[in-house]
């Protein structure tokens, strides 16, 4: 059996058969490990800074961010990262979590809002990190990469153009290529879900109905992609054509499992995002009605008094 197509630096040739215990053993990639620790550390620093200043920060957002970082660490800083180089099904678990679940959790943590509130202003005429972040948020570049006309095709192309072209095999030949691809998946998920979640400020803030339409525009393509892998009568990706004998798996049935994972995952984020959107919608309607009530209290029901005076004037005129 030829293993030359793997190009996995000879690392995965003697992997024992996959079990969840082996998959979740600590290990994996130092780049993502450093990234995850930095992500937790900086977020924690910003929250503490706000608290010391006497400002509140919702606990739910901190929990969402921590879960998002943990979900990335779970697929990239464990044995799953080694198995994902050799097994299509494990690779697909990595891809789906890092592109569809992690971004949603991270965005619910509102990191941009936190940064804007925690970073100090640089002072008049100077540019510090906060000013650079504001400039980036208002830049034309950001308007383009978060526009649905860009994010939806990118989201779809990340599946079809990558897996069904030689690019995937090229990237999987090295650790660096594999890590680069995973960073890309995370970034694509973030720019796709950012306008839809609408938690952080950004160039595009569509209404709730529009956000739901954007969400559902991308999801069927995920389902079709999964079904295409499940229905295929032969292995479609060269990287996973000859799995190491020690794994004891068949390439075609592993590909079918990968397709099932992709198909199932297309539903999960839709439900999570939909619940979040409906909740946000409800809260914003609640805020509007509270604002209207406060305005009425402030005016002492001035509108009603004006209306009564208007009726009285009509009455007087009619006499």
pTM of the full structure: 0.82
- pLDDT, residue 170, reads 92
- pLDDT, residue 34, reads 93
- Residues 170/114, Cβ–Cβ less than 8 Å: no
- Residues 26/48, Cβ–Cβ less than 8 Å: no
CA dist., res. 235 & res. 171, Å (int): 18
CA dist., res. 274 & res. 104, Å (int): 11
- pLDDT, residue 198, reads 74
- pLDDT, residue 146, reads 83
**pLDDT lower than 70: segments of the chain:** 1-13, 28, 125, 295-305, 307, 317-319
- pLDDT, residue 3, reads 38
Other CB atoms closer than 10 Å to residue 274's CB: what's the count?
A: 14
Dihedral pair phi/psi, residue 294, rounded to 5°: -65, -40
CA dist., res. 95 & res. 89, Å (int): 10
**Alpha-carbon Rg for the chain in angstroms:** 25
- pLDDT, residue 235, reads 87
CA dist., res. 299 & res. 293, Å (int): 10
- pLDDT, residue 283, reads 81
- pLDDT, residue 4, reads 38
Q: Where are the domains of the chain?
A: 20-119+139-318
């Amino acid at each position: 059996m030829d293993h030359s197509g793997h190009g996995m630096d000879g690392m995965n040739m003697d992997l024992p058969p996959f079990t969840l215990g082996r998959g979740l053993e600590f290990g994996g990639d130092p780049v993502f490990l450093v990234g995850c620790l930095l992500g937790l550390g900086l977020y924690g620093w910003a929250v503490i800074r706000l608290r010391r200043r006497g400002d509140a920060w919702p606990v739910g957002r901190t929990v969402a961010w921590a879960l998002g970082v943990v979900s990335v660490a779970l697929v990239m800083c464990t044995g799953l990262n080694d198995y994902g180089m050799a097994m299509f099904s494990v690779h697909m678990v990595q891809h789906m979590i890092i592109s569809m679940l992690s971004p949603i959790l991270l965005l619910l943590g509102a990191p941009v809002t936190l940064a804007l509130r925690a970073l100090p202003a640089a002072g008049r005429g100077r540019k510090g990190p906060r000013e650079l972040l504001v400039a980036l948020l208002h830049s034309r570049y950001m308007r383009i990469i978060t526009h649905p006309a860009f994010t939806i095709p990118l989201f779809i192309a990340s599946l079809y153009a990558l897996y069904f072209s030689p690019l995937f095999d090229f990237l999987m030949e090295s650790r660096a290529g594999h890590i680069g691809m995973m960073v890309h998946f995370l970034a694509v998920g973030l720019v796709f879900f950012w306008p839809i979640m609408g938690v952080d400020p950004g160039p595009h803030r569509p209404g709730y109905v529009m956000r739901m339409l954007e969400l559902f525009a991308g999801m069927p393509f995920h389902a079709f992609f999964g079904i295409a892998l499940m229905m295929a009568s032969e292995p479609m990706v060269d990287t996973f054509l000859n799995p190491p004998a020690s794994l004891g798996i068949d390439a075609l049935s592993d590909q079918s499992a990968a397709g099932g994972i992709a198909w199932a995952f297309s539903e999960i984020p839709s439900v999570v995002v939909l619940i979040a959107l409906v909740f946000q919608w409800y809260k914003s309607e609640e805020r509007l009605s509270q604002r209207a009530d406060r305005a009425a209290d402030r005016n002492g029901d001035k509108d009603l008094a004006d209306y009564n005076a208007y009726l009285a004037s009509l009455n007087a005129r009619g006499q």
